[in-house]
Amino acid sequence: MTNTSPATKADTSKLEAESRNATKAQLIEFWYYFSQNKGAVVGLVVFALLVLTAVLAPLIAPHNPDFQYRDSFLVPPFWEEGGKATFILGTDAVGRDILSRLIFGARLSLLVGVMVVTIALTGGIVIGVVAGYMRGSVDTFIMRIMDIILAFPSLLLALVLVAILGPGLINAMIAIAIVLQPHFVRLTRAAVLSERSRDYVVAAKVAGAGHLRLMFKTILPNCLAPLIVQATLSFSNAILDAAALGFLGMGAQPPTPEWGTMLAEAREFILRAWWVVTFPGLAILITVLAINLVGDGLRDALDPKLKRS
């Protein structure tokens, strides 16, 4: 909020303190609503644990995820007959410890989520704000492009993009980010459209704020709530899509311990070694579920309309 009238120091500091208090109050209110949703809290705890696992992977993992124990191919989990205590969840076809691979895989999945959301969110916001703010032909052009992207099933488009860029985790991330981008663009644009005629924007404009400042400093912060919810959704979608690409052999390439890729490698053992199939999928499900729980909580806490219904 720009204030062009000359203000005394005391006024400024008072204002700042007030706005800080207001932010604090907002946060407290947010946390109040968020914590009302028990599922969301559970999701947050699980997610925090996953982050911790990913960060501390080298410390927690009992084995090197790529080391092949040549005398232990396809060892079942320790509680099964023939299991070994050192391989808690068993080993895969070349004798690598599944638990360690899952732990290291958490890094990749979270990385995918973070990277994809960062790319899609940044790109989406910039494009969306430009479209919503500029209106006219720029807007039409951008929105038609988004329509084109949305006309394809996301996974199919991602698959073709990865085929063009070459299989691999980085390229999979780029492809998924491109595919998820239009949702952010649409959301941002819609929010900008509804905000740009509001009083405070008009006021800022009258006060002589430049285009960039208007777009990103004045309008954008007021459209954040739906974007945050969408970002959470995209985070889980990105993990699912990356795993699906890995499963189709177009995502992370072996020996990368990416969960979807592990699942693809395990397919041939489906009837013989259930553990190589079961655990990577379970890891994906738990992660995505935790993030979606958090997403639900965020939506409840941020969306004023649903808040009180």
Enumerate binding residues for another protein (CB under 8 A).
39, 66-68, 70, 73-74, 93-95, 144-145, 147-148, 150-156, 159-161, 163-164, 166-167, 236, 240, 243-244, 247-249, 253-255, 260, 263, 265, 267-274, 277-278, 280-281, 284-285, 288-289, 291-293, 296, 306, 309
Least Å distance, CB 140 to another protein, is 9
How far apart, in whole angstroms, are the C-alpha atoms of residue 200 and residue 222?
Answer: 11
- Residue 185: alpha-carbon gap to chain centroid: 16
Q: Which is nearer to another protein, 213 or 249 (CB)?
A: 249
Output DSSP code: residue 180. H
Least Å distance, CB 225 to another protein, is 16
* φ and ψ of 266, to 5 deg: -85, -10
How far apart, in whole angstroms, are the C-alpha atoms of residue 174 and residue 63?
Answer: 31
Q: Which is nearer to another protein, 93 or 209 (CB)?
A: 93
Q: Which is nearer to another protein, 83 or 216 (CB)?
A: 83
* φ and ψ of 91, to 5 deg: -125, 165
Per-position b or e across 60-99, b if 16+ CB within 10 A of its CB: ebebebeebbeebebbbbeeeeebeeebbbbbbebbbbbb
3-state DSSP assignment of residue 91: strand
* φ and ψ of 97, to 5 deg: -70, 120
Q: Which is nearer to another protein, 204 or 257 (CB)?
A: 257
How far apart, in whole angstroms, are the C-alpha atoms of residue 139 and residue 133?
Answer: 8
Q: Which is nearer to another protein, 154 or 188 (CB)?
A: 154
Least Å distance, CB 302 to another protein, is 15
Least Å distance, CB 21 to another protein, is 32
Least Å distance, CB 174 to another protein, is 14
Q: Which is nearer to another protein, 223 or 263 (CB)?
A: 263
Least Å distance, CB 261 to another protein, is 10
